[in-house]
Amino acid sequence: MRTARKTLSLLTGLALGASCAGSALADGQLDKVMKDRGLTEKDVLAAAKTYTPTGGRDEYIVFSSGGQSGQIIVYGIPSMRILKYVAVFTPEPWQGYGFDDESKAVLDQGKVRGKDILYGDTHHPAISETDGEYDGQFLFINDKANPRVAVIDLHDFETKQIVVNPVYKSQHGGAFVTPNTEYVITAAQYAAPFENGFVPLEEFNDKYRGGVTYWKFNREKGRIEPENSFTVEAPPYSQDLSDAGKGPSDGWSFTNSFCSERYVGGIERGRPPFEAGCSAKDTDFLHVINWRKAEELFKAGKTVKINGGNVLPLDVAAKEGVLFLIPEVKSPHGVDVSPDGKYMIVSGKLDTHATVYSFEKIQAAIKAGKFEGKDPYGVPIINFQDSIHKQVELGLGPLHTQYDSKECIVYTSLYVDSMVAKWNYCEGKVLDKISIHYNIGHLMAMEGDSRSPDGKYLVSLNKLAIDRFNPVGPLHPQNHQLIDISGDKMELLYDMPLPLGEPHYAVAIKADKLKPEVRYKSGWNSREDKVSEFKTRAGREKTERNCDASGNCTTEVWGTVIRSHITPEIIEAQVGDTVKIHLTNLERAEDEVHGFAMYGQNVQLSIEPGKTSSTTFVADQEGVFPYYCTEFCSALHLEMQGYLLVQPKGYQAKAGGMQEGVAYTQADYDKQVKTNVDTQAVIDQVVAYITSHNYQDFPTVVGLVEDATDQLGFAKGAKEKAEAAAAKQDWQNAMLWANQWWQYQVKTADLGLRAKTFLEQNGAKKIK
Ligand code: RUQ
Ligand code: CUA
């Protein structure tokens, strides 16, 4: 009770101010909830730090790898609410990804040696940088299993490009960007021959290779340029994570490695397994690469072509001062460059220390030509002691390090200890430790990879959840734990289960740096970011059927979707036709997405406002194939439907009209017209409100008003048709068109009311 009372005063003092000791608190409701749910004061404080009331926004947006789901998970901090899964390497029906023709073309770029690869093992996302700061424009992520990188444009959170590494057979250490996103860096992992043919394992040392690839990024085009990208060939040392230099170390990059023993297992051949041979030596090698020098050599034609890619041969890299090695402690994992670019921190999984390397000392050794020798490939090795600033004992299984906003302060994950260590890398002092649950891999601070990290929060990306959540079978979710790092002591705030693959790494950006669009320009091909050749305007919808000389026929539809109908509502094709359907969403209102699903054809599109999406399939069976909208977009969403009729070859329609379900009379028509007149009065009132306010100053409202004006225009057309039918005493058509006129009015009113509410809530001013 005493605790609860203290909390009450704490919360009133903290958040509410003494004057409004609100009723819930005064009534002791908070005390009761705390008691019933067994919450401590610390719990309530953590809740207050993370709870985000309805309509509230997060301060940071996180892009988390989705692991082997091949997607990216987007969530907010501090609320830890999941906002989106971005489809990247894996088909994802909600977004139509891998179902519409436009995104199929993106997935097709990711074919490996001609084969469709319909998943990815995503590891490390990276946000594009300008001058070492996250700029919120693009996101990159690697696929470890199939050595690929994807480009996601953050103006619409869609995957635009997938590039396949021409020479690797796996690729873990990526994606990492240089300070101005000149290059996206990825490193190979399991050494393999660069060529695609068979090379026996007996030739491992001679023919198997690793490497570090520099993918050239063209920011204007928003695409990677494979022809301007190059790979620095490296020894078969199982390169691991990388990081780009910045500030004084700009132009250099750093990649660690494991299994520099070059050990090849083979239990079935009677050889000790990989794990024994790959951790036998006490040290592995930190690879230090002068990428600017490599770029010069590439431009000077010193690279060779392998599988169409540009490769700087290992002997050239060694001789020309591109590649250097420095011993690093046993099985390291993670190399993290300090915000000022002066230090690199590396930890060894099988050692209790973290090593702080000094870029200045490394450069001094290189300049002096002071090496302790060369590796078997002729790569100069810099002496360990000559290059380090400090070595600090942290705990068991140190992995990754993140930098705080406070100078010299870092956080390192301790995998075996299941802890985070906070320490000072300038002085080499451990400051604090916190237990996490369980087996932390990466950790991530806000804007942690930038030149100016924000600190504030840390997310611990745990490999295991074990008993943290309600059980859901043998396959558990992963656990992201939010830690408050604003004070001297780290405080655990929140556990978030992530039920989608094994997220390896994540990056967090200030939410206000992201400026995503709410709609596309009309008729937009979002995957190519240009007006679609299939853009269709209202009233221009059409279906064509054409056959070529050899009798192959195509039924092609240029259609539209808008609340609450798909045009066309009937598509006629003949068996064997290739059917192509292009649909443009005519809406401009925020969030008025329509879907398009069809029976038995593996068709599911997501058509956001302004977007044009296409689907192509062969109608190889006769039959009736209903289609409909898959988003509950309006009161008449269920009526947003139609039929694909796949007719026998040479089918002729029977004489006689459609069978009507109901016969309408003049009384029905008159009643409907009266309703319409009343509805128009409501619309007029709303219009008067909007136009008497400065609605032009609110882009959201302008979009709504444009849509409403469209709908009202359609209403006018339907009204004319109704009146023409009525003049001919065709009450059937008069009534149906009068009803359609009303449907358009209802949509107009709905949009108008949304606009009015928005204006009221956002302080619009009266102008006349
Ligand atoms: S991984 S737990 Cu970055 Cu792929 Cu370290
Ligand atoms: Cu459109 Cu439901």
Rounded distance from Cα 416 to ligand 1 centre (Å): 14
Widest pairwise Cα distance in the chain: 101
Is 637 touching ligand 2 by the criterion CB < 6 Å? yes
More confident residue, 408 or 588: 408
Instruction: Give the ligand 1 atom nearest the CA of 124.
Output: 3
Rounded distance from Cα 464 to ligand 1 centre (Å): 14
In terms of Cβ atoms closer than 10 Å to its own Cβ (0-12, 13-18, 19+), residue 54 is exposed
**Per-residue model confidence as pLDDT tens digits over 290-302:** 999 999 999 999 9
- Please give the Cα distance from 475 to 494 (Å, whole number): 21
The answer to whether 180 touches 137, Cβ cutoff 8 Å, is no
Instruction: Give the ligand 2 atom nearest the CA of 631.
Output: 2
What count of other Cβ atoms lies within 10 Å of the Cβ of residue 666?
Answer: 12
What would the mean pLDDT of 11-21 be, rounded to a whole number?
A: 47
Instruction: Tell me which ligand sits closest to the C-alpha of residue 242.
Output: 1
Is 586 touching ligand 2 by the criterion CB < 6 Å? no
Instruction: Give the ligand 2 atom nearest the CA of 566.
Output: 1
Alpha carbon distances (Å) from 615 to 212, 603, 611, 765: 38, 7, 13, 46
Tokens 């705080």 belong to residue: 404
Rounded distance from Cα 149 to ligand 1 centre (Å): 16
Mutational test site, ligand 1, from 143, 189, 240, 241, max ligand atoms within 8 Å of CB: 241
Does residue 20 have a pLDDT over 80? Answer: no
Rounded distance from Cα 98 to ligand 1 centre (Å): 28
Which residues line the pocket of ligand 1, CB cutoff 6 A? Answer: 123-124, 172, 241, 333, 399-400, 441-442, 504-505
Q: Which two tokens stand for residue 158?
A: 């869609």
The upper half-sphere exposure of residue 529, i.e. CA atoms within 13 Å in the direction of its Cβ, equals 15
**Per-residue model confidence as pLDDT tens digits over 525-582:** 999 999 999 999 988 899 999 999 999 999 999 999 998 899 999 999 999 999 999 9
- Please give the Cα distance from 722 to 741 (Å, whole number): 8
Instruction: Give the ligand 2 atom nearest the CA of 628.
Output: 2
- Please give the Cα distance from 458 to 443 (Å, whole number): 7
The answer to whether 217 touches 182, Cβ cutoff 8 Å, is yes
The answer to whether 154 touches 160, Cβ cutoff 8 Å, is no
Tokens 């606009």 belong to residue: 755
Convert 369-381 into a string of H (helix), E (strand) and C (coil): CCCCEECCCCCEE
User: What pLDDT does 599 receive?
Assistant: 98
Give the amino acid at 78: P
Instruction: Give the ligand 1 atom nearest the CA of 333.
Output: 5
Is 633 touching ligand 2 by the criterion CB < 6 Å? yes
Does residue 278 have a pLDDT over 50? Answer: yes
Instruction: Tell me which ligand sits closest to the C-alpha of residue 631.
Output: 2
Instruction: Give the ligand 2 atom nearest the CA of 637.
Output: 2
The answer to whether 141 touches 122, Cβ cutoff 8 Å, is yes
Helix (H) or strand (E) holding 570: strand 570-574
More confident residue, 348 or 601: 601
The answer to whether 668 touches 731, Cβ cutoff 8 Å, is yes
Instruction: Give the ligand 1 atom nearest the CA of 441.
Output: 2
Of all protein residues, whose CA lies closest to atom 1 belonging to ligand 1? 504
What distance lies between CA 4 and its chain's CA centroid?
A: 42
Of all protein residues, whose CA lies closest to atom 2 belonging to ligand 1? 441
Of all protein residues, whose CA lies closest to atom 1 belonging to ligand 2? 594
Q: Assess whether the previous peptide bond of 332 is cis (omega < 30° from 0).
A: no
- Please give the Cα distance from 222 to 230 (Å, whole number): 18
Instruction: Give the ligand 2 atom nearest the CA of 563.
Output: 1
Rounded distance from Cα 60 to ligand 1 centre (Å): 22
Instruction: Tell me which ligand sits closest to the C-alpha of residue 608.
Output: 2
Quickly state the pLDDT bin for 2 (edges 50, 70, 90): very low
More confident residue, 724 or 332: 724
Least Cα distance to 394 among 367, 368, 417, 363 occurs for: 417
Instruction: Tell me which ligand sits closest to the C-alpha of residue 629.
Output: 2
What count of other Cβ atoms lies within 10 Å of the Cβ of residue 142?
Answer: 31
In terms of Cβ atoms closer than 10 Å to its own Cβ (0-12, 13-18, 19+), residue 380 is buried
Rounded distance from Cα 442 to ligand 1 centre (Å): 6
- Please give the Cα distance from 341 to 358 (Å, whole number): 9
Alpha carbon distances (Å) from 391 to 249, 287, 308, 538, 747: 21, 18, 43, 68, 68
Sign, CA torsion 192/194/197/203: negative
Least Cα distance to 444 among 502, 490, 483 occurs for: 483
Helix (H) or strand (E) holding 495: strand 491-498
In terms of Cβ atoms closer than 10 Å to its own Cβ (0-12, 13-18, 19+), residue 214 is buried
Rounded distance from Cα 504 to ligand 1 centre (Å): 5
Instruction: Tell me which ligand sits closest to the C-alpha of residue 641.
Output: 2
What count of other Cβ atoms lies within 10 Å of the Cβ of residue 167?
Answer: 23
Rounded distance from Cα 246 to ligand 1 centre (Å): 22
- Please give the Cα distance from 124 to 186 (Å, whole number): 10
366's CB contacts (< 8 A; 6+ apart) are 321, 324, 382
Instruction: Tell me which ligand sits closest to the C-alpha of residue 506.
Output: 1
Instruction: Name the least confident of 50-54, 553-557, 743-747.
Output: 743-747
Rounded distance from Cα 457 to ligand 1 centre (Å): 20
Sign, CA torsion 712/591/141/597: negative
What count of other Cβ atoms lies within 10 Å of the Cβ of residue 393?
Answer: 13
In terms of Cβ atoms closer than 10 Å to its own Cβ (0-12, 13-18, 19+), residue 3 is middle
Q: Which residues does residue 498 pair with via DSSP β-bridges, in sequence order?
A: 478
Give the amino acid at 351: D
DSSP for residue 164: E
Q: Number of helices (H) and strands (E) in the chain: give both, helices first.
A: 14, 45
Instruction: Give the ligand 2 atom nearest the CA of 594.
Output: 1
Rounded distance from Cα 167 to ligand 1 centre (Å): 22
Could you tell me what percentage of the chain is helix, strand and coil, using 3-state DSSP and rounding each to the nearest 5? 25, 35, 40
**Per-residue model confidence as pLDDT tens digits over 375-402:** 999 999 999 999 999 999 999 999 999 9
Is 603 touching ligand 2 by the criterion CB < 6 Å? no
User: What pLDDT does 22 receive?
Assistant: 58
Alpha carbon distances (Å) from 671 to 468, 668, 676, 726, 739: 61, 5, 9, 13, 10
Does residue 6 have a pLDDT over 80? Answer: no
Least Cα distance to 387 among 263, 500, 494, 283 occurs for: 283
**Per-residue model confidence as pLDDT tens digits over 682-739:** 999 999 999 999 999 998 899 889 889 988 999 999 999 999 999 999 999 999 999 9
What distance lies between CA 274 and its chain's CA centroid?
A: 34
Instruction: Tell me which ligand sits closest to the C-alpha of residue 633.
Output: 2
Q: How many residues does the chain have?
A: 768
Instruction: Tell me which ligand sits closest to the C-alpha of residue 609.
Output: 2
Sign, CA torsion 560/107/619/580: positive
Q: Which two tokens stand for residue 435?
A: 């237990």
Q: Assess whether the previous peptide bond of 564 is cis (omega < 30° from 0).
A: yes
Instruction: Give the ligand 1 atom nearest the CA of 505.
Output: 3
- Please give the Cα distance from 41 to 659 (Å, whole number): 70
Q: Which two tokens stand for residue 569?
A: 């509502």
What count of other Cβ atoms lies within 10 Å of the Cβ of residue 262?
Answer: 16
Is 594 touching ligand 2 by the criterion CB < 6 Å? yes
End-to-end CA distance of the chain: 58
User: What pLDDT does 422 receive?
Assistant: 98
Instruction: Tell me which ligand sits closest to the C-alpha of residue 332.
Output: 1
Does residue 14 have a pLDDT over 80? Answer: no
Q: What is the dihedral of CA 194, 198, 202, 206, to 10 degrees?
A: -30
Rounded distance from Cα 645 to ligand 2 centre (Å): 21
Mean pLDDT of the chain: 94
Dihedrals phi, psi of 320, to nearest 5 degrees: -90, 5
**Per-residue model confidence as pLDDT tens digits over 164-176:** 999 999 999 989 9
Instruction: Give the ligand 1 atom nearest the CA of 123.
Output: 4
Rounded distance from Cα 334 to ligand 1 centre (Å): 7
Rounded distance from Cα 639 to ligand 2 centre (Å): 8
Is 640 touching ligand 2 by the criterion CB < 6 Å? yes
Rounded distance from Cα 74 to ligand 2 centre (Å): 25
What would the mean pLDDT of 204-229 be, rounded to a whole number?
A: 98
In terms of Cβ atoms closer than 10 Å to its own Cβ (0-12, 13-18, 19+), residue 44 is buried
Does residue 1 have a pLDDT over 90? Answer: no
Instruction: Give the ligand 1 atom nearest the CA of 65.
Output: 4
Rounded distance from Cα 234 to ligand 1 centre (Å): 21
User: What pLDDT does 351 receive?
Assistant: 86
Instruction: Give the ligand 1 atom nearest the CA of 461.
Output: 2
Of all protein residues, whose CA lies closest to atom 4 belonging to ligand 1? 123
Instruction: Name the least confident of 83-87, 241-245, 274-278.
Output: 274-278
The answer to whether 442 touches 400, Cβ cutoff 8 Å, is yes
Instruction: Give the ligand 1 atom nearest the CA of 172.
Output: 4
Give the amino acid at 122: T
Rounded distance from Cα 512 to ligand 1 centre (Å): 28
Between vectors from CA 338 to CA 360 and to CA 413, what angle results, nearest 5°? 130
Sign, CA torsion 586/626/620/657: negative
Between vectors from CA 209 to CA 204 and to CA 210, what angle results, nearest 5°? 135
Alpha carbon distances (Å) from 4 to 11, 279, 351, 492: 10, 53, 45, 20
Q: Which two tokens stand for residue 748?
A: 């107009």
Rounded distance from Cα 290 to ligand 1 centre (Å): 24
Alpha carbon distances (Å) from 650 to 35, 571, 574, 576: 76, 16, 8, 12
Sign, CA torsion 456/460/465/466: negative
Rounded distance from Cα 617 to ligand 1 centre (Å): 40
Instruction: Tell me which ligand sits closest to the C-alpha of residue 605.
Output: 2
What would the mean pLDDT of 175-187 be, rounded to a whole number?
A: 97
